[in-house]
Amino acid sequence: MARFVYVECLVRADMEALWERTQRPELHQRWDLRFTAIDYLPRADGEPQRFRYAFRLLPGLVVTGDGVTTGDRHDTGSRTSALRFSSDHPLSLIRSGSGYWRYVQAPDGVRFITRYGYRPGWGRAVDLVFRPLIGWATAWSFDRLRLWLETGQTPERSLWQALAELCLRTLTTAIAVTTTPAAVACLVGAAAILLPPLPSTPAARRCLRRAPHQGKAAALAHLETP
């Protein structure tokens, strides 16, 4: 049975700039936590674009897969990019899937939307843990991309800032637990968890995670499974 993830983010940037940083693989892999590398393969005119992707679990341990993608521009000014993907790697938590990106022009920017479904690679029990994580990673990555386009902060700097902020919150909580009464330590721990990240730190919570409808991109009908 397929599992679906939906994420939507308002990006206050030019449509062309957003399209470039999501469609060029060397730029896409910089902001998306779900991939370590994306490589487009040679293609003939008129054929969908095939690609290979990889995610490095550990040094020397890389999960790989293949996919096919295509993009459409619409008369309304919106755009759609659809893809199918699969992996036969034994460690892949996603066996196969399909989805789309939608770029919807709005008065104050572009609504950048994704919806994708997948067939779990390790069964339903493992997917109960994995699906919230992959949804969070998608939303966090979308906000990381938004910061890159809106403020010029590079994805690499966003990652280091997020790690630094996490370390600071963890250290503050640890100090409170070891040096203050239990009630104070609980308050500090709650604040570390609940306080929103800095405006310049990516946050999944800034993205919409519930789909208003369950439509599919028409472009998916023209893509074969890789």
pLDDT in tens, 117-168: 999 999 889 999 999 999 999 999 999 999 999 999 999 999 999 999 999 9
pLDDT for residue 47: 83
| 51-71 pLDDT, tens digit each | 999 999 888 889 999 999 988
Average predicted confidence (pLDDT) for the chain: 90
With 0-12 / 13-18 / 19 or more C-beta atoms within 10 angstroms meaning exposed / middle / buried, residue 55 is buried
| Percent with pLDDT over 70 in the chain | 91
18-31: per-residue pLDDT in tens? 999 999 999 999 99
- pLDDT for res 148: 98
Closest listed residue to residue 188, CA positions, set 201, 215, 170 = 170
| pLDDT class of 75 with cuts at 50, 70, 90 | low
Distance CA 114, CA 110 (A): 13
What Å distances lie between residue 117 and 5, 16, 25, 176, CA to CA? 6, 27, 21, 42
**Cα distance between residue 199 and residue 112, in whole Å:** 19
Angle at 209 between CA 123 and CA 67, to 5 degrees: 55
Q: Is the dihedral of CA 115, 83, 36, 61 positive or negative?
A: positive
pLDDT band at 44 (very low <50, low <70, confident <90, very high): confident
Q: What confidence score (pLDDT) does residue 3 get?
A: 60
What are the sequence ranges of the domains in the chain? 3-153+204-222, 154-199
Lowest mean pLDDT among 136-145, 190-199, 209-218: 209-218
- The CATH H-level (homologous superfamily) assignment of domain 3-153+204-222 is START domain (3.30.530.20)
Contact between residue 78 and residue 103 where contact means Cβ atoms under 8 Å apart: yes
Whether pTM > 0.85 for this model: the answer is: yes
